[in-house]
Structure 1
């Protein structure tokens, strides 16, 4: 089975995080988001991958190369963002026979994809609490009869998971008209297939759309490696469980790093090579420490937390349930909770992130020109690449700082900048 993975979008809903990194390449545990999709596809039997690329395509090409996880990789360039059907259209030169299409920002299990690949034509189906923001599937006896986009009064909570298994001749159905938002939609192609063929609805046990910063947090919460999801007990073996592959994880006894004997490690804590852990540090898993990062002295890191390659968590810093991206520095005497800290961010001494509304309501974040609820009672900040804060900066819940923003010493930041 050939698998086309749509990975051309920038991901504007991710805000400043995608100002230098395309959304598919944002970190989820030990690899980019789109790599989780590719791994699940390969584990489900994909014999060839076709990646559509656009914004930040060079980063995708550099990561995957010409072969990934033992299978050939091809690339198709979508120069203009004209929709998912257009993204598939640019990839069809690499397709020969039945094929699958997956979104590069949707997490799912290899076992579910395995079932999907065997059911051509088919679409992945997933049940959610609130289906009004998705395409809702109408089915009869497991057969899809209609897709209703974002209905006000959904008849069912079963949504289109954005995963498809198509027969080869679907490439002749891709010339669909533009939608109201000016794009050629893959769901319109699916409508044509439903009219012509019997399309199965394949129930997915796990699925997640990672489109907003708080969903990136949730994705890391799910995918941080633990003893049953990768090596936490030493060695460099590559293991796969349930579509999750962990690469070259080493334990705290590894000779290529330095862990002070006064450090306290509890729970599922995994580190890569070259990690430095200082005296007085307390780490409570699940936590993943990427290569070359340093913790402490006297720091407190609580999971689920990802500390990226080369990042520095300094003296008396507390980090809780956060993603700290590559080469970021939280130098000393600071608190960061439930937040996304972009690459090369530098937080001045005493920078504190507030992550809780005391009225009990979920924290909201500005996405585009509107406020959107995160659905989380605790959510801190989203800091874009190269943000730098002055000492004693305070940041309110839900505040977003764009790439390169600076704050002054003692400043209280209550609005996006």
Structure 2
């Protein structure tokens, strides 16, 4: 057994606190990883607070993990000790269903869907209270810890051109936006609208621009207009109704990255005929969609869930090739509860990343 240290929530109300636990050592086909950095995703906050009504406690969040291989199990061929690697939202799947056979593990149709890096399989809320799964694990503990053990085929290579700490959010925020941009075939010259300009919106704008699209971001925050200009994309305030009205039927694709319940109806008129608005930021019920807006121009409102393992490697390589990285702010493990508050209140400029070297420091000390 591996004795592990991390931070966990034990209820929806008490925040994250130091937590000691054991992990199984790397078995055949598995890789043991020393965690160096872990991004803070808004999904972590939803899960810790049980806002999706399916959290299994104790909950050790973290699915934007970068670390070094510390040990490999029997039969591992892809990685060696010392390799810089990443782990995203999944650590296993059924391997047998149609989506898994086609390399789309993120849409696994097995008995429990894919196995999440933390909080076990992505089970419906009704199944959570007596959570058991076919992998023999009551729960899984994520990257807010000093170690992970993962199947080698769910481990990603971190390109040398990426800074390890900046690569961490690409493993969720990056692939969650790359996957729909790729699926709906965004190409040079397309007009792409990004709704919401936080962690996901930042990556979506950078990736779409690198794909050759003409990008417009929609934000509620005036200060972010300057940031959009810095990235070389257009920025529009959602409150600027006149400017938005002028964009009617002008977008080839739109991506909503807003991480909570919101209304997409104001943006549907902006789509061209036969085009799609995809929602990736919210798993809650959205405001009802006005089907008249869809039907009259055969438009679509769709959803997309993270990305496959292959797509995650693709986006890491794509970001390395194009010099793309999220804007990040490093925090100590002991600052995680304050970081959560700032994310919820919109104070952070894009993405927090935890320096796991601070895990062993006494509470109250900041990063090195």
TM-score range relative to shorter protein: under 0.3
Which structure features the higher share of strand residues?
A: 1
Higher relative contact order (CA 8 A, sep 6+): 2
Which structure features the higher share of helix residues?
A: 2
Q: Which has the larger radius of gyration?
A: 1
TM-score by length of 1: 0.23
TM-score by length of 2: 0.25
